[in-house]
Structure 1
Amino acid sequence: MSVTRVRSPNTARASEESGGGSPRPARVREETSSVDRGVAHLVSVRRTANGQRPRASTESSARASHPSPHAVQARLDAFRSSFAGPYLVDGRREWVDPHFRMNGGYGTNPSEALKRARKVLPSQIMTRLPGALLLTATGKATPHTLVRVTQALIDAGAHREFGEGAAAIRKMMWSYGIGVDCSGYCRQAFMATRGVSEASARARYGIGRSSNGFDPDQLSRFRKVSPLSVRAGDVGKLGLGRDNHKVIVASHDVIPAQGAAPEVPGHGPLPQSFHAGGRVHIFQVDSSWGAGPSGSASGGVGRRVWVYSEASGLWGSYHASSGKLETSRLGPYGYELNGFFRPRRED
């Protein structure tokens, strides 16, 4: 099965000269004014109220190179790892992905998190952690802050009532309001892929404070790109209103039209009713995923797979628990696809 990986044009020559790997990535498909009707709904661009495309400032108009897909995925892997510890748990090192936590959502709110922490943490530790506890319970903590709070609770034995190992740590996180939401995670993951600080993210990309969330469709220094041209490091958004979800793309592979059913790594072949014999796009996306009212084990930080068929116009996503393929013309999980977004200053 032939597979091509979508990447930035500026990485093509370097890969070809170095010999690259197999399969060799293909250049990004350029958006043009001529669009197949079957995929026309995917290539619209965001416009202002008067119908014009938003103008970028002189600074943001300057083109910048984009890191290679391999570099982006490596940075995303390292960022995710930094959020996972390691923790010293009863003499063992454990790596545990953080749970989902959104201020105003399900689970333990910030005031409850403080009350619960005070019951188990020694006073000399508690006096140094109120700010970190509150930030963590709002879903906007940095990896360092979240790991620091989690380790303090582990040291106090707060995990033992939930059992042993990583599963117990995750349950403790949910109970004590420890986690990160999709905006908090994707905002910092985006910064990690570009290697920028808070100040540089503000100056280069117009990204505000973490408390303001992260909505690239609302940022003038980002532009909408076709899902057919998405590459690693782009940011995706599902939903058009307050009920929305953000992801950052870890990879985008394209399977050409063929007779055999396309294979999705980790999920098996796609049914004919989905791929309809046409090209299929496979996206790996990172985020912190909702955990529902009871703190589902499938919630929190993780990488998931989305698929799109050009022939059928269907989006596919896999149920977090059963692994079943679920399809929709709106977008993954039946949410309307708001779009994928990339900084205007990048190629």
Structure 2
Amino acid sequence: MSSQYRVLFVEFISGAVWGELPVSDLSFSQTLNAPGAATVKVPLNGAPLRGMDWQVLQPWRVLIYVQRGRQVLWGGPLVSYGVDLAAEEMTLSCQGLWAYYRRRTITSDAVFVQQDQASIATYLLAHYGDGTYGGAEVGPKALAWDASYATGVKRDRSYFRHEWKSVGKAVEDLAAVRDGFDFRITHGWGNGRIVNTFSMLYPTTISDTGVVLDHGGNCDVVSFSADGTNMTTEAISIGAGQAESQLVTWWYNPNLEKLIPRLSGSESRSDVSEVGTLAAYAQRAIGVGAQPVVIPSVRLHPDRFPGVSDIAVGDVVEVRALVAQWPGMRGKYKVTEIQTSVADGGETTTLSLVPTEVFASVGSFAKP
């Protein structure tokens, strides 16, 4: 495997760095608003674990980190492993650190009235996920964040004990409304430990890097597709309640309906009892469905700028792919996933991108 890479393992509860894994190859994905994953292959007949017992490599006991040069690009818990005795190789399957917070539950009533959405998210993480506030809640205290950060967007939210809602799902739902936010967890060294930082990106297209990905120059636009499967001109969001008392809102795109016939879409949000919150989900669906999604598949050129160390999920980049006798494509895209594979053959990095137009505010609101 490339000498630029190191794979470290850290005790989840204490954060203590326990050692380095002798890795033959690995692949990992960094994903916006989601955990991502990693697969690490460890030869059983290779370098030892520097005095550590193999038994420490237990699911949820250790975090696995991928370091390239001085940058820590990925981190998350070991979730499962398999041993191939014929090949004398162990395969570690890991999920990004956010997967842990999907496994924590809101265990008491938490009501927020006109609170900044950033404050709501970090309170849920600190109190119910990380155990930062102490009391009855326990946790690894594995996250750091800027406690003073605010988006300026106020929300009303109620999370009741009897709903037993996942902390991760609550934050994801809070983010996934019109005028919501993106989030990511980044990793870096601090005082001899690896620090995991939870960051919110607001507005969601704020991270325009000015980076240009030019087909044939610093990348290959392997292919791209235009997908109208999820185009929507009428979005229906269905909230709490039953039958006649059920809360329902609609959002329309009348300008698009001048060009194409009505396309309806619906989604169930049974835990939502506020009209404004339900409308925000419907408005987001209309924005996402306002046009075909043109998705390029971009493979970075190795040893060129930008590389995997230069781009983060949530970044906005420009993609250009111009071909003679064909109009090609050019536009701004948000990086939603970075997939990297490292083996003896070198390093391959592929980006998943979404057009920034998806996040435009369009349409009009109606309610019963």
TM-score range, shorter chain: under 0.3
Determine which structure has the larger helix proportion and give its number: 1
Determine which structure has the larger strand proportion and give its number: 2
Q: Which has the higher contact order (CA 8 A, sep 6+)?
A: 1
- TM-score of the aligned structures, taking structure 2 as reference length: 0.27
